[in-house]
Amino acid sequence: MFVKGNVQVLNSKYIAGLIGSRNSQPWAAKSIRHLAHTCVDSSVTVLSGLALGCDTQSHLGYLEAGGITIAILGNGIENIHPKANHKLAETILTSGGCLISEYSPN
C-alpha cells in the first residue's frame, strides 16, 4: 500500500465510503455533497475514489465543510487521474487528508 499525505487519518475511528456514478444526475451530485457535509457534522472521515462525478462531489462537499478526506486511486499516487482532479488531490493533501493506492507511485 502506498500513501501520500497524512497517514494518521487512516486511523480515524469512523470512515464512510461515499461512491457513485461518474455520470451522475445533478440531483445525485447535490445529494452526495449534502451527505458529505452530514459526515463532517458527525465526525466521520470520508473515503472515496478520485473519479469524476459522485466521488469528486463527496470530496468537495467534505472539504467545504472543513473535513478531511481519503482518496483511493486506481493508479500510482504520483499520477493523478483524471487530470481534471489534480487540484482536488492537492487540496485533499493540504487539508490534512491522504491519497492511497495499491500501485507503485509512478
Q: Which CATH architecture has domain 2-101?
A: 3-Layer(aba) Sandwich (3.40)
> Looking at residue 32, what is its pLDDT?
77
Interacting residues of 79 by C-beta distance below 8 A, sequence separation 6+: 105, 106
Question: Distance between CA atoms of 6 and 43, rounded to whole angstroms?
Answer: 17
What pLDDT is stored for residue 73 in this prediction?
Answer: 94
- List beta partners, residue 4: 99
- Across 25-45, average pLDDT: 77
Write the pLDDT tens digit of every residue in 54-94. Answer: 888 889 988 998 999 999 999 999 999 999 999 999 999 99
Task: Give this prediction's pTM.
Answer: 0.87
Q: 14-32: per-residue pLDDT in tens? A: 666 666 655 666 777 778 7
Strands 2-5 and 98-101: antiparallel
Domain ranges of the chain: 2-101
CA atoms within 13 A on the CB side of 67: 30
Q: What H or E segment, with its residue span, contains residue 45?
A: strand 45-49
